[in-house]
Every structure is written in structure tokens, then in C-alpha cells.
């Protein structure tokens, strides 16, 4: 840009000065926006990673909480054809709502008949006890413990959220603990 004295009038000088200032500001604004966007993306990635670590225990950690063999024994005594009056099916007495949740989560189409297959029933029960229930407990800010996982499995997540354990579920927990002690020797 020329010195102001080289212009024939102040108006042209001011116009050119304004254009130059605007171009410089635009470049500066663009770099600032890009910088802020990168920082935001980085912070979101860190936040997501922290949330996964805090709220979703690794399957290995959750698997240690509940002994699947004991749950199977309590639910069906190993009978893959077991059906409860409430509509639960198979070795682990999977309820229709749990089957629906599993299907939506995994984008599969298992049906009620598939629950009689011990492998499918076990896969769904393991997912419920090691992944889904711990996720829901964390979502509702409840501790992920053996007791809360069993209450949610037997009585539903709503029972844990409300802090209410039905009588049948209290007996279930007693039976689970008794069998766990017996299995230790």
C-alpha cells in the first residue's frame, strides 16, 4: 500500500486501507476458526475416550463380577428348553425385551425360537451381564457390582434405579452367594 500522500484524495486511501485490513482480518479469522475447530475435535475425542473408560467397564472386568455358571443354574438348572411363566426362555431365561435389545444393538434378527439354542442364549446372557447391564448402570450413575448386575438381570434396571429389590430377587441374591461360596470349596 502506498503512503497516504501518494493518493490523490483521502477517500481512495481509506478505501484501499479498509480492503487491506478486511483481507488481513479475514485470513486471521479463518486461521482462528480452524484452530478452534481442531481444539474442539481433540477435546471431544478425549471426552469420548474418558467416558468409555469411566462408564463402560471392559468385558473382562464385568465378566469377573458375575459367575455365569451360577446364573445358569439358578435360572434353568441347565435346561435349555426352560420357559418361565413370565415368558423368559432357555438356559439363562432371556426375556423378550432383552432379546429385542440385543437384536437392535447387534443388528441381528434372533427370534424366540433361537433362544432355545444354548449358544445363542449364552451369548445374549453374557452380553447382558458383561456389557449391557454395566452400561445401563453407569448411565444411571449406579455402581457396577455383582449385586447391582444380578438385581438388574433378575428384576430389571428399573429396580436398581429406584433402589428397590423385590423379595424374589433378594432370594436370588442369597442363592447366588450361597452357590458362589460352595464353588470356592
* pTM over cut 0.85: no
**Per-position b or e across 140-162, b if 16+ CB within 10 A of its CB:** eebebebbbbbbbbbbbbebbee
* Per-residue confidence (pLDDT) for residue 44, from 0 to 100: 73
Look at 7-11, 28-32, 76-80, 126-130 and tell me which has the smallest mean pLDDT. 7-11
Helix (H, G, I), strand (E, B) or coil at 123: helix
- Per-domain residue ranges of the chain: 4-53, 57-184
Q: 60: pLDDT confidence band, cut at 50, 70 and 90? A: very low
Mean pLDDT of the chain: 83
Distance (Å, whole) CA 78 – CA 97:
22
Hey, what CATH class is 57-184 in?
mainly alpha
Amino acid at each position: 500500500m502506498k503512503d497516504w500522500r501518494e493518493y490523490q484524495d483521502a477517500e481512495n486511501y481509506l478505501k484501499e486501507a479498509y480492503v487491506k485490513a478486511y483481507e488481513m482480518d479475514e485470513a486471521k479469522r479463518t486461521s482462528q476458526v480452524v484452530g478452534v475447530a481442531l481444539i474442539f475435535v481433540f477435546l471431544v475425542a478425549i471426552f469420548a475416550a474418558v467416558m468409555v473408560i469411566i462408564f463402560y467397564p471392559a468385558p473382562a472386568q464385568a465378566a469377573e463380577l458375575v459367575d455365569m455358571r451360577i446364573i445358569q443354574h439358578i435360572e434353568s438348572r441347565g435346561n435349555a428348553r426352560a420357559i418361565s411363566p413370565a415368558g423368559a426362555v432357555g438356559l439363562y431365561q432371556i426375556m423378550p425385551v432383552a432379546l429385542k435389545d440385543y437384536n437392535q444393538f447387534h443388528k441381528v434378527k434372533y427370534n424366540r425360537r433361537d433362544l432355545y439354542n444354548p449358544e445363542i442364549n449364552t451369548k445374549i446372557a453374557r452380553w447382558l451381564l458383561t456389557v449391557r447391564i454395566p452400561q445401563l448402570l453407569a448411565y444411571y450413575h449406579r455402581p457396577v457390582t455383582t449385586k447391582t448386575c444380578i438385581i438388574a438381570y433378575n428384576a430389571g434396571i428399573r429396580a436398581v434405579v429406584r433402589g428397590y429389590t423385590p423379595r424374589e430377587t433378594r432370594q436370588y441374591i442369597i442363592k447366588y452367594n450361597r452357590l458362589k461360596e460352595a464353588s470356592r470349596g
